[in-house]
Structure 1
Amino acid sequence: MAAVSATCVRFEPSLKHSIKLNQVTGRTSSLKLVSVGWARNGFPSLRSSCFRISCSAKPETVQKVCEIVRKQLALPPESELTPESKFSALGADSLDTVEIVMGLEEEFDISVEEDSSQNITTVQEAADLIEKLIQKKGEA
């Protein structure tokens, strides 16, 4: 019988702590998620491992995304939007999500591929994708 074991290490976000990302620019970002996982099914050749680090988008990017979502969904000013707010929980259907993505593309002068846009379900995911695309655009 094959032995099965798994190990996972996770660090969740902290509002108090920041990690210095670049000593030259001095930009900092809160740690969003670090996870490490190993699994072995008894066969060394079938062992898999993963290591993932992702950093949160800048607060001003998250704020702009919130403004666009609020406008596209015609949400009242008193409605609470957080980075964890899901578009579906705010009443958005697939057409609304497409319109949100189009608004983000226009505001940030980026182009979001269809595959990427289908993976956006929260304000934070949208802001993280925007930061990634802006960085990629700057490197080109």
Structure 2
Amino acid sequence: MFLIFAALLALPSPAQVLLYSETELDLKGKIEPPAGVVKLILQSEQEDAVQLRECLQDKGLRKNATGKFFIAKAIQLNDDGLTDYFVRPSLEPYCSAFYGAHLFRYWFVTTYRKNGKILYKIMLKGGGDGVRILDKVSNGHHNLELIVLICVEN
């Protein structure tokens, strides 16, 4: 009995999930991302920005309302004391620009200061069926689990 107990103490503890998001799951504690974050994402996704403008027209929204098509969660990706963001397309209003057959696109954006200004940088962008931010840290950043389901037909 003592040997089994000692072996269990030596096992690594499972990581705690700080944030989980999947294609059709809304974010708890969501916010609209800062305008600078939305602008950065649209600059990096120029082909999809055209489709996003069409969604704005279809929904009767103004050009400056693109942020409504995204939701974010304020998070800490590193230890610099500045707020970082997990950003994904919103479920409502919905725009297919950043969705696929069963997946959604997402961006991890960090905040930094330069010459007294707040700026943003996309640290990782991807797409899949789900994503998790874990409490474990490697190289100064929280570990991520990126989930992609593969369907195989017989």
Report TM bin, short chain: under 0.3
TM-score (structure 1 length as normaliser): 0.27
Structure having the higher helix fraction is 1
TM-score (structure 2 length as normaliser): 0.25
Structure having the higher strand fraction is 2
